[in-house]
């Protein structure tokens, strides 16, 4: 799953240079990958939090030249994701809802920080515009990632269950040979 986080991080940078300003496509792939990968990493919460902390630090250093801002934002989003997946199952609608809430939290915290340090003045229309501009591209990315991970998980499970079935068959054949 770490490789998926790195790919999403790189795609964030590439697409941010292609789509900027008033574009309808504002990528937050690093946030979306946290939403999609958590159900597969929920048994290892500590490593999930470490991974998103490192992802946030990379985001800080490479894309924004801030120090620890996105570490905190990513950690808060990660904690929200962990909380929601305690109550919701890993289904596409729930994942889209959590992705939507993650985008809202990311944009709100980011915008709030920029207003706090007086880089921007508060404008609700600008905040809402940045939120809805993030939905189209990130929603599509979330659906694609969700489908790919479900397919990967299904194939992995199917492969392992085949191994278990063949092992059971081998044990049964071995037991029959001992009986004879």
| Residue pLDDT, tens place only, 60-118 | 999 988 889 999 999 999 999 999 999 999 999 999 999 999 999 999 999 999 899 98
- Band of the pLDDT at 160, cuts 50, 70, 90? low
pLDDT at 116: 92
CATH T-level fold of 2-179: Arp2/3 complex 21 kDa subunit ARPC3 (1.10.1760)
- Summarize the confidence of residues 22-42 as an average pLDDT: 88
- Burial environment of residue 35 by CB neighbours within 10 A (0 to 12, 13 to 18, 19 or more): buried
Q: How far apart are CA 129 and CA 159, in angstroms?
A: 45
pTM of structure? 0.81
What residue segments make up the domains of the chain, in order of their start?
Answer: 2-179
């Amino acid at each position: 799953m770490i490789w998926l986080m790195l790919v999403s991080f790189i795609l964030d940078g590439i697409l941010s240079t292609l789509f900027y300003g008033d574009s309808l496509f504002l990528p937050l792939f690093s946030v979306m990958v946290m939403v999609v990968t958590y159900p597969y990493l929920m048994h290892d919460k500590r490593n999930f939090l470490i991974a998103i902390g490192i992802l946030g630090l990379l985001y800080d250093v490479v894309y924004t030249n801030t120090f620890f801002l996105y570490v905190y934002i990513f950690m808060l989003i990660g904690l929200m994701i962990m909380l929601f997946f305690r109550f919701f199952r890993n289904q596409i609608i729930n994942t889209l809802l959590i992705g939507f809430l993650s985008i809202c939290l990311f944009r709100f915290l980011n915008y709030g920080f920029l207003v706090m340090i007086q880089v921007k003045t508060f404008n609700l229309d600008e905040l809402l515009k940045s939120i809805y501009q993030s939905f189209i591209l990130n929603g599509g990315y979330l659906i694609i990632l969700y489908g790919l991970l479900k397919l990967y998980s299904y194939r992995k499970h199917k492969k392992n269950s085949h191994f278990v079935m063949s092992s059971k068959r081998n044990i049964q054949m071995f037991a029959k040979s001992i009986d004879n």
